[in-house]
Amino acid sequence: MTSPSPTSSSSSRLGALLMAPVNALMRLIDVPLRGLQKSTGIGGMAAFFLAPNMLIFGIFVLLPLVINFVYSMTGGTAFFLAERNFVGGEQYARLFTCQNYLDPMSCQEDAFWTAVGNTFWFVILQVALMILTALITALILNRDLAARSFWRAVFFFPVLLSPVVVGLIWKWILQRQGLLNFILFQFGDTEPYTWLTDRTWTFAATIGVSIWAHMGFYALILLAGLQAIPKDLYEAAEMDGTKPARVFWRITLPLLAPNLLVVVVLALIRAVQIFDEVYVLTGGGPGTSTLYLTQYIYETGFASALRNPGLAAAASILMGSVLVVLTLIQLGIGRKNENKGKR
């Protein structure tokens, strides 16, 4: 075969030198594969190419997904399925045993219901505030700005940071003698706030920090949506002398609505699973004021002395079903948008 080698266009001698062993390896792999191809035919090679991904996929995603249901119906502290005894729906019953269904503290698994309640309020407040700030940011970035890509990057920066780094940065700023208290001190507040030891402030801090960390991602998607709105609509509105507020409510918002919906559902899905940065920032405390669902599952399954993998699996299936509903909504919206585009 004459080798049409597009890689050689990189032309640097160092690159060629580095690629030489890789190319040799690939030629070596090719020898047995030609044999394989002879016996399976061209179509059969598709299975070969698909196999590694599907194998890893099957073992580490599909299989766990299936046996999670089995886990949720077994009891004991052992991790291997063979050593666990079947208990049927007992774990679910345990999660739902409450004396008074209006008071989470009366439930047998009060920590679970505290986590559910915390997660619920976290999701509502975080998503609402985050989408609002992301929308404002996107609208401002969509203006005729100098150095727009720079400003876009400014708001995007925290998105790349690891949750552990985010948690530690803010732990450092919010501590009693931290930067935030110092700034407030400058404005005349003499009593330092206890951001990370007061229940209400800590809950607010987890919301604020997670908005800081993720807002740029959603602003970016909304900005792409805004830029896809045809410019001639705005020009027509300007010619008619339409007021800017009316342009926003009648043109921008309706045309952005599909994007906005996708972004809201995506944010909901992520917010339900909040864990990493909160775990580093507050560890779920003080008390259980920032204990969220994923941390409850993690601690029930692995960390606590009274670990109960079956209970953790049952809780994770309940959380998973919420996520499935949200994802189906998202896919539904996606399909609707696609159909609209085709028409």
Partner 1 sequence: MGAAARFILRRKGGKGWHWTDIVTWVWLTGGLIIMFGPAVWLGFSSFKTPAALAEFPPSILPYVTSQATVEGYDKPLQLFNAKMPDGSTRVLAEVRRIGIMSQMVDPKAPGEIVRININDRQPVRTLSFATSNYTEPFVHFDFLRYLWNSVFVTVTATLITLVVNSMAAFALSKYEFRGRSAAMLIILATLMVPLSVIMVPLYSIISSLGLFNSLWGVILPTVATPTGVFILRQYMLTIPDELIDAARMDKASEWQIYWRIVLPLTAPALAVLAIFSVVWRWNDFLWPLIVLSRRELYTLQVGLSIYSGELNVQWHFILAMTVVTMIPVVLVFIFLQRFITTGIAGTGLK
Binding to partner 1 (CB under 8 A) within 127-156 occurs at 136-137, 140, 143-147, 149, 151-156
Which span sits near partner 1 by CB under 8 A: 95-103, 112-120, 121-129, 217-225? Answer: 217-225
Helix, strand or coil, per DSSP, at residue 85: strand
220 binds partner 1 (CB under 8 A): yes
CB of 103 to partner 1, least distance (A): 27
93 binds partner 1 (CB under 8 A): no
**Tokens 């919206």 -> residue:** 333
Among 95, 111, 115, 169, binds partner 1 (CB under 8 A): 169
Interaction residues for partner 1, span 26-65 (CB under 8 A): 26, 29-30, 33-34, 37, 42-43, 45-50, 52-54, 56-57, 59-65
Q: Which amino acid is at 90?
A: E
Among 11, 12, 100, 177, binds partner 1 (CB under 8 A): 177
Distances (CA, A) of 129 to 78, 215, 270, 298: 42, 9, 14, 27
Binding mask 300-339 for partner 1 (x = CB under 8 A): -xx------x--xx--xx-xx--xx--x------------
Question: Distance between CA 324 and CA 326 in Å, rounded?
Answer: 5
Distances (CA, A) of 34 to 19, 25, 37, 41, 301: 22, 14, 5, 10, 48
Question: Distance between CA 24 and CA 4 in Å, rounded?
Answer: 16
Between 105 and 253, CB nearer to partner 1? 253
Between 55 and 105, CB nearer to partner 1? 55
Residues written for the chain: 343
Interaction residues for partner 1, span 242-281 (CB under 8 A): 244, 262, 266, 269, 273, 275-276, 279-280
- CA neighbor of 202 nearest in space, from 177, 168, 164, 174: 174
